[in-house]
Amino acid sequence: MNQAVQEWINSDPDPETRRELESLSEHELAERFSAPLTFGTAGLRGPVRGGPHGMNVAVVIRTTAGLGAWLKAHGHSGSHVVVGRDARHGSEAFATAAAEVLAADGFDVTLLPRPLPTPVLAFAVRSLGATAGIQITASHNPAADNGYKVYLDGGSQLVSPADREIESAIAKVSGASSIARTPVTAVDNTAPDNSVIDNYIRRVSTLPHGQARNIRIALTPLHGVGGDTALAALHAAGFTDVHVVAEQFDPDPDFPTVAFPNPEEPGAADALLALADTVNADLAIALDPDADRCAVGVHDGDGWRMLRGDETGVLLADHVLSTAQPNSLVATTIVSSTLLSKLAPTRGARFACTLTGFKWLTRAGDGLVYAYEEAIGHCVDPDAVRDKDGISAAVLVADLVATLSENDRTLLDVLDDYALEFGYHHGDQVSRRVDDVADITTIMDRVRNNPPHEICGEAVMFEDLATPDSPLRTDAVVFTGATTRIVIRPSGTEPKLKCYLEVVIPVAARSELVDAQAAAKARTTQLRAFAENL
């Protein structure tokens, strides 16, 4: 065992992870100490385990000390920081450790008292005027993971160069056991009219535009922390006929009924759709475990299906714009559908396209009223929550469904209207999980060095977004043809290569819609085969 490893073990304040590390082989230790966790999408994520390449108390202590040093260096000594958590393995200990390090470093710390949705933390940072916020969560990652998410700038996610600067500050921090900690008492979140959660629910309850409330909703929080808050928000907004998936309602860090706790994953929403069918619901809602994402299920023909994130995204954008000021801004990302860019100007709004992630979307520009990304993330109230928020999105979707039902219309009817107005847009995604992240670099290099000029019989133009002159510089490539758009990029949070597919077929009359849908789906099948064989 080399000296650096032994020093880490000696300075680890958690006896459990000390014993874990001491039991590992030299090969296993080499992997744990190969590199520290680094900031990805707004923070750290990794498996709950000992060593610098895992989520554990020592890593959280050192990360928080680095964050504190960075805040002080930027003139924020003694400022207010909010710390929250979800219900994953280790979350309570990690949140407590982060709060205690900040308190000992002279910061004014608000520690939220129980597992709460990530949007509540983002709301708290903004509403309390805090300098920063920390949410302990791994969102929809597998059960073995946890994470450390950082908010700055009025409740927006961390962006570069701050992330790299904080990493540099962390690297200068000494051993975890030498860092001072001061006990912190969690805030009383039960006092009426004086709690973050009550204020958040009151804010969300004001979002509906219409008066209709006579719909039935099926809901699942997928074993996460969004259940109670979502129910309270829906009830406060007037939607009281809500049925929940009982076996998935209480927080459970093992996520026992789903292979992956992500509503986008095949099978994850099966129990929800079964419940919706049983109770004859008008709408099905699935939140991811930290409730910052919202997936929507609808009755389609003889059964139920989940809408794609792009479908929900444009529906919510149109609903928000129906009451927004002229020239308001809506935004989505480079990997989302192109439909919003066509809808926005017809509704008197501006449109912005950003890099992937809400850390960029919420900074899209002045006058932002709505932003979404295809991965079922929706920011419907950026004045209150500068991040994706599954609960407020659920309330606004319920409002839209109830409003439409007054005229015997559905979300699918509106999507058909969009097809007639803008062409039928059909999206899909291919995610290739890899065991070695180096494989992703190999594939990206191969595509860049020898890009095809034709894909599945259609001529395409190639654009490399990693070049210095790209207006949206990122590690991604784009192929665009007459009916086809493909974006290929590495995932920012998981060991995956992601390929985003879109096919657009013009529709001149409603009688052509079925044929256009069939043609788009057939074309998408061809594109999937191309993406799977990169």
Residues recognised as catalytic: 139
- In one letter, which amino acid is 342? K
Long-range pairs, 67-70, Cβ under 8 A, ≥24: 67/102, 67/132, 67/134, 67/150, 67/166, 67/169, 67/170, 68/101, 68/102, 68/105, 68/107, 69/169, 69/172, 69/173, 70/162, 70/165, 70/166, 70/169
Strands 43-47 and 283-287: unpaired
* CA pair distance 318, 390, nearest whole angstrom: 17
State how far the Cα of 319 lies from the Cα of 513, in Å rounded to an integer: 23
- Sorted by sequence, the CB contacts under 8 Å of residue 377 that are 6+ apart come out as 292, 293, 309, 358, 388
SS3 category, 199: helix
Contacts of residue 65, Cβ cutoff 8 Å, sequence gap at least 6: 101, 105, 170, 173, 179
The answer to whether residues 348 and 325 touch, using CB atoms and an 8 Å cutoff, is no
What does the block give as tokens for 43?
A: 């923070």
**339 touches 314 (CB < 8 A):** yes
**Cβ(348)–Cβ(354) under 8 Å?**
no
